[in-house]
């Protein structure tokens, strides 16, 4: 009989006892250059050491596999240790999540209900912003497609009393198109697969195969991702943050508007202009937007130009768009709606996590998407 090895416990125990490879702090290199830094990081990576310091800055190298180093048992090992006493995979997003989980676990002592509420909210930002800000790419099934800087605020007793998020560089273009075998943001697949019956009836939600913005790249499912289960986590996170039912309904309505906008297509008309291929679709989108269908069609099929005379405002007139231009106009509207909604979600999270007391210490966690290099590219 072969006894199966339990990798999580064995790996982390070995990591505290095995001989360190390379230098754990790059400031200790005898010669500092791009080559020596890269060689040291590669050597440690090949030995299962994905974390390396530069003074008080931590470099995290994505191992593209589970190293079993984030268990509760390992977490307890780090409590009360300074930077030199214990060093222990993940990419930037996963590393940021583990940092937040660690802070929530070890800070505050006998926490009050207010402090516990802040801890819960800080952790709830992970599934919420991942759903709206991460996507499946060719190299990463959970790739951050926006930048996020989270500041956790502490009082004099080192208890978390608030937090704030700065968001930037959202990849809005992903909303309207993806390369083959990539996906739109996670939330669109979560919503279309796991939507409650009321949303399916009132917002016309079907599966992701029913929308150009989710079906176009040919990737509806991802190994290791359960969109329905993740959607449940997203909804729980909304509740923890304190989003009301009306706020949640409005978010879902915006998602439905974007999905249906992607199904609006155009055909050529006279004089290099265009017309909507199926006015039933624009009528449905207009109903969700609560605007007149003819107003929506006009905004998609024309651009407004304003003339000026002598620095003063002149006449305004509409210029018809051809099908390619109208499609770009449609996509610009969808991207703008998603961007405004994402910014609103971040602002709403910040309002819920506003500091409750005087902050004396701050820990900042930066999670920004990187670039992906492919063979031959």
pLDDT single digits (tens) 322-345:
999 999 999 999 999 999 999 999
Q: Is the dihedral of CA 278, 280, 282, 285 positive or negative?
A: negative
Looking at the fold, whether 17 and 144 belong to one and the same domain comes out as no
Q: Which of 52, 107, 131, 143 is catalytic?
A: 143
Looking at the fold, whether 214 and 237 belong to one and the same domain comes out as yes
Please, what is the end-to-end C-alpha distance for the chain in angstroms? 48
Predicted local distance difference test score (pLDDT) of residue 333? 98
pLDDT single digits (tens) 133-152:
999 999 889 988 999 999 99
CA atoms within 13 A on the CB side of 273: 14
Q: Which of 15, 107, 126, 144 is catalytic?
A: 144
Count of structural domains, the chain: 2
Looking at the fold, whether 83 and 104 belong to one and the same domain comes out as no
pLDDT single digits (tens) 268-325:
998 889 999 999 999 999 999 999 999 999 999 999 988 877 667 778 889 999 999 9
Q: Is residue 271 part of a domain?
A: no
Looking at the fold, whether 139 and 67 belong to one and the same domain comes out as no
SS3 229: helix
The average pLDDT across 255-279 equals 96
Q: Is residue 311 part of a domain?
A: no
How far from the centroid of its chain's Cα atoms is residue 354's Cα?
A: 21
| Domain end among 32, 65, 90 | 90
70-84, 236-250, 354-368 — which one is most confidently predicted on average?
A: 236-250
Q: Is residue 258 part of a domain?
A: no
Query: What CATH number is associated with residue 336?
Result: 3.40.850.10
**Domain range holding 49?**
1-90
3-class SS string, 95-133: HHHHHHHHHHHHCCCCCCHHHHHHHHHHHHHHHHHHHHH
**pTM to 2 decimals?**
0.76
Looking at the fold, whether 77 and 120 belong to one and the same domain comes out as no
pLDDT level of residue 12 (50, 70, 90 thresholds): very low
Q: Is residue 297 part of a domain?
A: no
Q: Which of 15, 40, 52, 93 is catalytic?
A: 93
% of residues, the chain, pLDDT over 90: 56
Q: Is the dihedral of CA 7, 8, 9, 10 positive or negative?
A: positive
* Per-residue tokens: 318: 């509409």
pLDDT level of residue 108 (50, 70, 90 thresholds): low
Looking at the fold, whether 207 and 338 belong to one and the same domain comes out as yes
| pLDDT > 70? residue 210 | yes
Cβ(311)–Cβ(322) under 8 Å?
Answer: no
Strands (E) across 158-220 are located at 160-168
* Rounded-to-integer distance, Cα 252 and Cα 112, Å: 34
pLDDT level of residue 251 (50, 70, 90 thresholds): very high
Q: Exposed, middle or buried by CB within 10 Å (0-12, 13-18, 19+), for 295?
A: exposed
* Rounded-to-integer distance, Cα 25 and Cα 249, Å: 49
Looking at the fold, whether 106 and 86 belong to one and the same domain comes out as no
Residue 273: CB partners within 8 Å, gap ≥ 6?
301, 320, 321, 322
Q: Which of 15, 40, 52, 88 is catalytic?
A: 88
Looking at the fold, whether 8 and 105 belong to one and the same domain comes out as no
Q: Is residue 105 flagged as an active site residue?
A: no
Residue 249: CB partners within 8 Å, gap ≥ 6?
none
The average pLDDT across 201-218 equals 97
50-59, 73-82, 118-127, range with the lowest pLDDT: 73-82
Q: Which of 156, 207, 314, 370 is catalytic?
A: 370
Cβ(151)–Cβ(163) under 8 Å?
Answer: yes
Q: Is residue 93 flagged as an active site residue?
A: yes
Looking at the fold, whether 228 and 368 belong to one and the same domain comes out as yes
Q: Is residue 126 part of a domain?
A: yes
Residue 138 is classified by DSSP as S
Residue 149: CB partners within 8 Å, gap ≥ 6?
165, 166, 168, 364, 365, 366, 367
Predicted local distance difference test score (pLDDT) of residue 91? 58
Q: Is the dihedral of CA 292, 290, 329, 192 positive or negative?
A: negative
Q: Is residue 140 flagged as an active site residue?
A: yes
Residue 172 is classified by DSSP as G
Characterize the bridge pairing of strands 51-54 and 57-60.
antiparallel
* Per-residue tokens: 288: 């969700």
| pLDDT > 60? residue 229 | yes
| Domain end among 90, 106, 122 | 90
Predicted local distance difference test score (pLDDT) of residue 8? 42
Q: Is residue 283 part of a domain?
A: no
| pLDDT > 50? residue 377 | no
| Domain end among 37, 69, 90 | 90
Predicted local distance difference test score (pLDDT) of residue 32? 86
Angle at CA 187, nearest 5°, toward 65 and 117?
85
Q: Is residue 180 flagged as an active site residue?
A: no
**How do the residues of the chain divide into helix, strand and coil, expressed in percent and rounded to 5?**
45, 15, 35
φ and ψ at residue 257, rounded to 5 degrees = -60, -45
Q: Is residue 279 flagged as an active site residue?
A: no
Nearest by Cα to 289 from 212, 213, 203: 203
φ and ψ at residue 106, rounded to 5 degrees = -100, -10
Q: Is residue 144 flagged as an active site residue?
A: yes
**Cβ-based neighbour number of residue 30 at 10 Å:** 6
SS3 46: helix
Looking at the fold, whether 148 and 18 belong to one and the same domain comes out as no
% of residues, the chain, pLDDT over 70: 83
Looking at the fold, whether 54 and 107 belong to one and the same domain comes out as no
Predicted local distance difference test score (pLDDT) of residue 100? 74
């Amino acid at each position: 009989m072969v006894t199966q090895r339990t990798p999580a416990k064995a790996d982390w125990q070995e990591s505290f006892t095995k001989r360190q490879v390379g230098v754990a702090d790059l400031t200790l290199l005898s010669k500092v250059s791009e080559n020596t830094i890269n060689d040291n990081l590669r050597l440690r990576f090949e030995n299962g050491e994905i974390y390396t310091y530069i003074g008080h800055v931590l470099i995290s190298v994505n191992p593209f596999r589970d190293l079993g180093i984030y268990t509760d048992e390992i977490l307890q090992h780090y409590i009360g240790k300074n930077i030199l006493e214990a060093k222990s995979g993940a990419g930037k997003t996963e590393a940021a999540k583990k940092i937040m989980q660690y802070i929530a676990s070890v800070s505050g002592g006998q926490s009050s209900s207010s402090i516990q509420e802040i801890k819960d909210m800080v952790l709830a930002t992970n599934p919420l912003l991942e759903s709206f800000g991460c996507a499946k790419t060719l190299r990463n099934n959970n790739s951050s497609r926006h930048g996020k800087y989270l500041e956790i605020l502490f009082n004099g007793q080192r208890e978390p009393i608030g937090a704030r998020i700065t968001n930037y560089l959202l990849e809005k273009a992903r909303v309207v198109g993806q390369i083959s075998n990539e996906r739109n943001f996670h939330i669109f697949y979560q919503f279309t697969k796991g939507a409650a019956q009321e949303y399916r009836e009132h917002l016309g939600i079907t599966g992701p195969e029913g929308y150009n913005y989710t079906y176009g790249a040919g990737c509806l499912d991802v190994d290791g991702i359960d969109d329905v289960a993740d959607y449940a986590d997203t909804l729980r996170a909304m509740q923890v943050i304190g989003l009301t039912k009306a706020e949640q309904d409005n978010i879902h309505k915006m998602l439905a508007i974007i999905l249906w906008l992607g199904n609006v297509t155009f055909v050529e008309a006279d004089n290099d202009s265009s017309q909507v291929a199926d006015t039933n679709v624009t009528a449905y989108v207009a109903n969700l937007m609560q605007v007149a269908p003819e107003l929506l069609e006009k905004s998609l099929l024309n651009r407004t130009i304003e003339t000026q005379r002598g620095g003063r405002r002149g006449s305004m007139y509409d210029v018809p768009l051809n099908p390619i231009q109208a499609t770009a106009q449609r996509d610009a509207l969808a991207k703008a709606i998603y961007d405004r909604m994402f910014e609103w979600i971040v602002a709403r999270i910040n309002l819920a996590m506003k500091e409750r007391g005087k902050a004396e210490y701050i820990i900042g966690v930066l999670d920004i998407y990187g670039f992906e290099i492919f063979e031959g590219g």
